[in-house]
Amino acid sequence: FLPFPGLPVLEKYPNTPMSHKEILQVIQKEGLKEISGTSPLACLNAMLHTNSRGEEGIFYKVPGRMGVYTLKVSAKKSLGSVSQSP
């Protein structure tokens, strides 16, 4: 796997939170990375979870949606626009 295999997918679809299953489907469909190993879905899920924790994480876990992620930058923009509404 790439260091952050979900990154190109979430960059390509920045306003679309996706589950780890959806991200893996896009990676496979668009040929973004050759998939090997016995459990690529579990590896991707663990990477997303690990890299969504703390200030340094690049992914954002969507609250109330099990296993759904977006890029942290996209999440901040969405939350900022929601908080500015009347």
Task: Indicate if the pLDDT at residue 82 is higher than 50.
Answer: no
The tens digit of pLDDT for each residue in 16-25 reads 999 999 999 9
The tens digit of pLDDT for each residue in 53-67 reads 988 889 999 999 988
Closest CA to 33 of 44, 47, 49, 42: 44
From CA 47, how far away is CA 17, in angstroms rounded?
A: 16
CATH class of 7-83: mainly alpha
- pLDDT score recorded for residue 1: 45
On average, the pLDDT of the chain sits at 82
Q: What is the pTM of this model?
A: 0.77
Domain ranges of the chain: 7-83
Q: How many CB atoms lie within 10 A of CB 4?
A: 16
